[in-house]
């Protein structure tokens, strides 16, 4: 097994072996875990199924979270789209609905697939499943895309812990958006270079995103960041599929994220001591919830 810890190494391996990212990733995962490639794909399919279940459960529920800050935004969106179509069309509607549904299912303590974290759980599923439905992508193609997304997340995490407490929300929703961009690019027939450029473009343009949850809960602004960053990933994929490249190589973008996280004040990294969490309204909400 070739050890791959950078995107440059991944690209070289794909070129040398004339294979796609998901093919390299599933073979390495199988060898590392001493299982077959088919077993890797079966496990990935279970994750995909869990994502679809979370979307359906989230779409059907109007239950508020324990804080009562979140839980009904997906319902509001569905209600609007029954009357008025979204400006950007049906796929856009699905992506924002699915992202909210999944994220709200998380804050209700429902079953979700952390991708890569619970706070960013709606981004990859929303984009991948909505696009697959509207473009008739097979289950096999969806698994390929999810493995591709996983490999992108794995390599990012080799340098930076994917946690808001370490590098802010750029390491959670930002990384998820990069993973999602790679998945969508894979689904839509992108080559290895385009897939890596899509991920780089997504991450590069969200650098510096703070983690400042109101009252210390993964609800505000976390829930609504999921649909925003899911759409962000589609933009990155569309650009990359047109052969628009990131001027900064993906590995260097990840380096920049690591540096940005290190320079970021600890008060803006999940401590809820600054940013949105320290606003007058946020402090009133915190007092109401916790006394």
Query: Hey, is 208 helix, strand or coil?
Result: coil
pLDDT, tens digit (0-9, with 9 covering 90-100), for 147-156: 999 999 999 9
The tokens describing 165, both together, are: 């407490």
From the list 196, 197, 216, the residue with the least C-alpha distance to 267 is: 216
Question: For the segment 121-160, what is each residue's pLDDT rounded down to a tens digit?
Answer: 999 999 999 999 999 999 999 999 999 999 999 999 999 9
Q: What is the pLDDT of residues 247-264, one digit of tens each?
A: 999 999 999 999 999 999
Nearest to 27 by CA among 51, 48, 3: 3
Q: How far is CA 233 from CA 66, 81, 181, 195, in A?
A: 30, 22, 4, 11
Task: Summarize pLDDT for 46-94 with one digit per residue, the tens.
Answer: 999 999 999 999 999 999 999 999 999 999 999 999 999 999 999 999 9
The pLDDT of residue 63 is 98
Name the pTM for this structure. Answer: 0.98
Asked whether residue 2 is domain-assigned, the answer is no
How does residue 1 score in pLDDT terms, banded at 50, 70 and 90? Answer: confident
Asked whether residue 146 is assigned to any structural domain, the reply reads: yes
Give the span between the Cα atoms of 115 and 138, in whole angstroms: 21
**Cα(127)–Cα(230) distance, rounded to whole angstroms?**
6
List of residues 6+ apart from 81 with CB closer than 8 A: 93, 97
What's CA 214's distance to the chain center, in Å?
A: 21
Q: What 8-state DSSP symbol labels residue 1?
A: -
1 falls within a domain: no
Helix, strand or coil for residue 172? Answer: coil
d(CA 63, CA 97): 16
Residue 271 pLDDT: 97
Largest Cα–Cα distance of the chain, in whole Å?
Answer: 60
CATH number at residue 122: 1.10.4100
**In the prediction, which pLDDT does 13 show?**
98
* Residue span of the structural domain in which 269 resides: 7-290
3-class secondary structure, 269: strand
Average pLDDT along the chain: 98
Is the pLDDT confidence value at 291 over 90? no
Q: Which helix (H) or strand (E) holds 104?
A: helix 90-107
Distance CA 278, CA 265 (A): 14
Where do we find the tokens 């999921």? 226
Q: How many domains does the chain have?
A: 1
> What pairs with residue 269 in β-bridges?
211
Q: Is 248 exposed, middle or buried (0-12, 13-18, 19+ CB in 10 A)?
A: middle
**Residues counted in the chain:** 291
Give the separation between CA 177 and CA 116, rounded to whole angstroms: 10
pLDDT digits (tens, 9 = 90+) for 188-220: 999 999 999 999 999 999 999 999 999 999 999
What mean pLDDT comes out for the span 230-259? 98
Whether residue 225 has a cis bond before it, omega within 30° of 0: no
Looking at residue 221, what DSSP letter applies?
A: T
pLDDT of residue 213: 98
Residue % of the chain over a pLDDT of 70 = 100
Whole-number pLDDT of residue 2: 80
Average confidence (pLDDT) over 152-173: 97
Domain presence at residue 239:
yes
pLDDT at 119 over 90: yes
């Amino acid at each position: 097994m070739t050890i791959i810890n950078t995107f440059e190494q991944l690209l070289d391996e794909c070129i040398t072996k004339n294979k796609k990212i998901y093919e390299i990733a599933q073979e390495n995962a199988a060898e590392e875990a001493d299982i077959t490639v088919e077993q890797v794909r079966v496990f990935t399919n279970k994750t995909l199924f869990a994502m679809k279940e979370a979307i359906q459960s989230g779409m059907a529920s109007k239950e508020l979270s324990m804080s009562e800050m979140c839980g009904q935004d997906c319902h509001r969106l569905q209600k609007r789209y029954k009357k008025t179509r979204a400006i950007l069309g049906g796929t856009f509607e699905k992506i924002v609905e699915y992202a909210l549904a999944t994220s709200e299912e998380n804050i209700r303590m429902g079953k979700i697939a952390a991708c890569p974290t619970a706070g960013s759980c709606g981004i990859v599923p929303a984009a991948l499943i909505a696009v697959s439905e509207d473009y008739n992508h097979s289950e096999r193609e969806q698994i390929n895309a999810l493995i591709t997304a996983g490999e992108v997340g794995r390599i990012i995490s080799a340098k930076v812990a994917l946690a808001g407490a370490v590098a802010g929300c750029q390491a959670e929703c930002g990384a998820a958006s990069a993973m999602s961009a790679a998945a969508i690019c894979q689904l839509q027939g992108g080559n290895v270079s385009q897939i890596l450029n899509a991920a780089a473009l997504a991450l590069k343009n969200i650098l510096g995103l703070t983690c400042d949850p109101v009252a210390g809960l993964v609800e505000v602004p976390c829930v609504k960041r999921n649909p925003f960053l899911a759409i962000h990933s589609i933009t990155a994929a569309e650009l990359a599929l047109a052969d628009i490249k990131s001027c900064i190589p993906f590995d260097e973008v990840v380096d920049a994220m690591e540096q940005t996280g290190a320079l970021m004040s600890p008060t803006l990294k999940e401590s809820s001591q600054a940013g949105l969490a320290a606003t007058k309204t946020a402090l009133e909400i915190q007092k109401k919830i916790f006394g």
